[in-house]
Structure 1
Amino acid sequence: MGEYLLKEVQTVVTQLIDVRMALRQGTIYQSVPEKILTIMDNVAYKSRRTHVIVPDDESQIMTLLETINQRLNQDDKKATVTDLELDQLLQHIVSPNTKIRDKGIFNLFNRLLRKYVLTAEQVVWVKDRLISDDYLFAHILEPENDGIFLRSFSVMFLAGILYANRTHYHVLTEAELVAIELRVMAYAIIELDSRGYVADKGWAHALTHIINVWSELNETQELQRADKLLMMAVLIQAYRFSDNALAYGEDSHLANVLMVLLKKNQLYTDYFLAVLQDWQKSLLNIVPEDSIAFWNRWYNRNRFLQSLMLQPELPTEIDDYLRKISDLF
C-alpha cells in the first residue's frame, strides 16, 4: 500500500469527520451534499493500473471450502473455524473466479455468521481486516481492474458482520461503528468502479454492497440521526455521479432502504426532500453531453425516481414533489 493512497484515503476520512462534526453541531445542513461533492471532486486518481495479486492456490482454497462446509454439515453447533482458516478465506475474496469468491467464500462466510460459528474475537478481527486500507481501498485510485472484487466484497462481508453483531454478538462499540461508517463513506466517495455483473467474473456490485452496509447502520441504536443523514447524502451522491449504468437493481435497492429510513423519523423525509430538490436544481441549466457517462447518469436518475414512485408508502411530500417534476424523467 503506497503512501500516495494512504494520504488520499486519510484526507477523505478527515474531511468526512469535519462534515460529520459540523452536521452534528447544527452548523451545516442543506449544504452537506455540496460538501460531499467537493470532497469527491478533489480526489486525485492515477492513470496507470498496477498488478492485482491473486493467490494462485485455487485448488487448495476449494478444498478448504469443502472441508469447512463438511464440518458444518456434521455438527454446526459445535463446529469451529480457526484464525488461520479465516485468514485464508479472506485472502481469496480478491479472486476474479466467481466459483471461489461469490459461490464459495461468500456463501460459506454467511453460513458461518448465521450459525454463529465465529467467536466474538474473530468477528472483531475480521471487521478490522475488512476496513483496512489493503482491503477496502486496494487499487481504488487506478483505472478499472480486478481490485474491485476485493474492495466490493470487503464491504459486502462488513454488512454481514454488522447484521450478526446487531442480532447476536453485540461486541462492536459505538466508536467501532462510527469507524466503519466513516471508512465505508470514504470508500463510497472514492470508488469509481460501479460495474454490476462483470463478464466471466461475476458480481462486482460495489454500490449495492455499500447500500447494504448503510441499511445495517440505519438499524443501529448507537449511531445518531446526523450519522444516518450524512450517509444518506454520501450514498445519493455516489449514485448520482456514477459513470456506469446502474441497471442491476441498484435503483430499487436504494429506494427500498430509503423507505425504511424515512419511516423512522420525519427528519429523514425532510432531508431527503431537500436532497432531491438540490439534485433537480442542478439540472435546470444542464447541457447534454455526447458521452456515455452523461447519459448513464441521466437514466440512472430516471430509474431511481421511478423506483421511488412505485413505493406504496412513499411520504406524501416526496410523492407530491416527484409528480411535480415527473415530466423531466
Structure 2
Amino acid sequence: MKTEIHLKHELLRLEQDRAGNEPRGVLLSELVPVMMKYIGSTDAELRDHLIYGSLCRWTEQDRISADMMREIAAAALDDQHLFYKIGECGTDSVFTRTFSALIIPVALYKHGRHPFLTEAEIRGMKEKLIRYVALEKDLRGYVEGKGWAHAAAHAADGLESLARLEAMNRQDLHDMLAAIGDCICTCSYLYINDEDERLVNAAVSIWKRHLIDDDMLLNWVRSIADTPLNGSMHENETLRANTKHFLRSLYFEMLKEQDTRKCTPFILEQLNLRNRY
C-alpha cells in the first residue's frame, strides 16, 4: 500500500501526463482505493487538488467505469468516510467526512451522462447525506494551514445534484428542504464562506423540479425566519445572521427565476421581520 507521500508524488506525476486512456500505465483500479484511503489528508494540495481534482477529471474523461464509480461511492458513504468519527468538532476527521460528501456530485455527474445507478442506490445516497447533515457538528469553512473543510457547502452540492434527478420524488425533495433548513438554522457556527449561497443553490434546484408547491415553499421559508432566538447572546446573533444571510441570498437568487411573484415578496417580508433595524 502506498504511503501518503508516495501517493502525492504519483498523482503529481500523473497530472503532468494527461494523455492516453489510462494515465501512463497506471491501473486506476489499484490507485483509486489508495486515494480513497487518504481522501481526508490534512495536506490540502493532496486532498483537494490531487485526489478530489483527479477523480473529477477522470470522471469527466470517462476513465472511471460505472462499476468503479459504484465502488467509490459505496466507500465514500460508509462509516470510515462520510461518517468517520461523526460528532467530533475541531479535529482533522472533518476532512475525511466532507471530502467523502463531495463524491456524491461526482458520481451523479457520471450517472447524468451514462446512467448506471438504480433508483434504490440514488435514494440511499439521499438518505445517507441527510443523515450526515443531521449529525455533522464541525461546520468550519476554511481551516488555516489545512485548507477547506466546508461541510455545509459540500453537503449542499450533494443535495443540489440529487434534486435534479427524476428519481427524487416530492417527499424526497421535502426531506432535502428540511435538511437545508436544519443546516442553516445553527447557532453553533457563523457561516462566513458563502455556505448560504451553496445551500440556496440546492433549494432553488429543488424548487425548479416543480413538485414542491409555492405554499409548501413559503411555509418552509417561514419556519426558517421564525426559528426562535432563545439561546445566549452569542448564539442568538449567530443564528440571526445565518438565517438572514440565507434568506437574502434566496431572495436575490429567486429574482432570477420566472414566475416567482408569490415567493419573492414573501421571502423579502420574512427577511425584514428577521432584521433588528
TM-score normalised to the size of structure 2?
Answer: 0.90
Percent identity, aligned pairs only, is 22
Q: Distance in 1 between the 2:231 and 2:91 partners?
A: 29
- Matching of residue 195 in structure 1 with residue 137 in structure 2: no
Deviation at 1:74, TM superposition (A): 2.3
The code of the aligned residue for 1:122 comes to M
Report if aligned partners of 2:163, 2:209 keep a CA contact under 8 Å in 1. no
Deviation at 1:77, TM superposition (A): 7.3
- Matching of residue 297 in structure 1 with residue 239 in structure 2: yes
- Matching of residue 165 in structure 1 with residue 107 in structure 2: no
Report if aligned partners of 1:261, 1:268 keep a CA contact under 8 Å in 2. no
Match of 1:122 among 49, 68, 80: 68
Deviation at 1:183, TM superposition (A): 0.6
- Matching of residue 271 in structure 1 with residue 213 in structure 2: no
Residue 252 of structure 2: aligned partner: 310
Residue 188 of structure 2: aligned partner: 243
Q: Distance in 2 between the 1:263 and 1:141 partners?
A: 33
Question: How many residue pairs align between the two structures?
Answer: 270
Q: Distance in 2 between the 1:323 and 1:252 partners?
A: 16
| Structure-2 change in CA distance of 1:115 and 1:256 (3 Å) | same
Match of 1:153 among 99, 108, 114: 99
Report if aligned partners of 1:247, 1:300 keep a CA contact under 8 Å in 2. no
Deviation at 1:212, TM superposition (A): 0.8
The code of the aligned residue for 2:96 comes to L
Residue 34 of structure 1: aligned partner: none
| Structure-2 change in CA distance of 1:212 and 1:81 (3 Å) | farther
- Matching of residue 99 in structure 1 with residue 45 in structure 2: yes
Deviation at 1:268, TM superposition (A): 4.3
Residue 200 of structure 2: aligned partner: 255
Residues 57-72 of structure 1 mapped to structure 2, 5 A cutoff: 57-71=3-17
| Structure-2 change in CA distance of 1:93 and 1:136 (3 Å) | same
Write the deviation string for residues 41-68 of structure 1: whole angstroms up to 9, x where unpaired.
Answer: xxxxxxxxxxxxxx99332011220343
Write the deviation string for residues 216-242 of structure 1: whole angstroms up to 9, x where unpaired.
Answer: 111111221211111111121122125
- Matching of residue 131 in structure 1 with residue 77 in structure 2: yes
| Structure-2 change in CA distance of 1:67 and 1:296 (3 Å) | same
Deviation at 1:167, TM superposition (A): 1.8
Q: Distance in 2 between the 1:56 and 1:116 partners?
A: 25
Residue 323 of structure 1: aligned partner: 268
Residue 17 of structure 1: aligned partner: none
Residue 131 of structure 2: aligned partner: 186
Q: Distance in 1 between the 2:125 and 2:209 partners?
A: 22
| Structure-2 change in CA distance of 1:141 and 1:266 (3 Å) | closer
The code of the aligned residue for 2:8 comes to M
| Structure-2 change in CA distance of 1:282 and 1:206 (3 Å) | closer
Report if aligned partners of 1:159, 1:209 keep a CA contact under 8 Å in 2. no
Residues 79-94 of structure 1 mapped to structure 2, 5 A cutoff: 81-94=27-40
Greater shift, 60-69 or 246-255, is seen at: 60-69
Question: Structure 1: any 5+ residue segments left out of the alignment?
Answer: 1-54
Question: Structure 2: any 5+ residue segments left out of the alignment?
Answer: none
Q: Distance in 1 between the 2:187 and 2:108 partners?
A: 26
Residue 215 of structure 1: aligned partner: 160
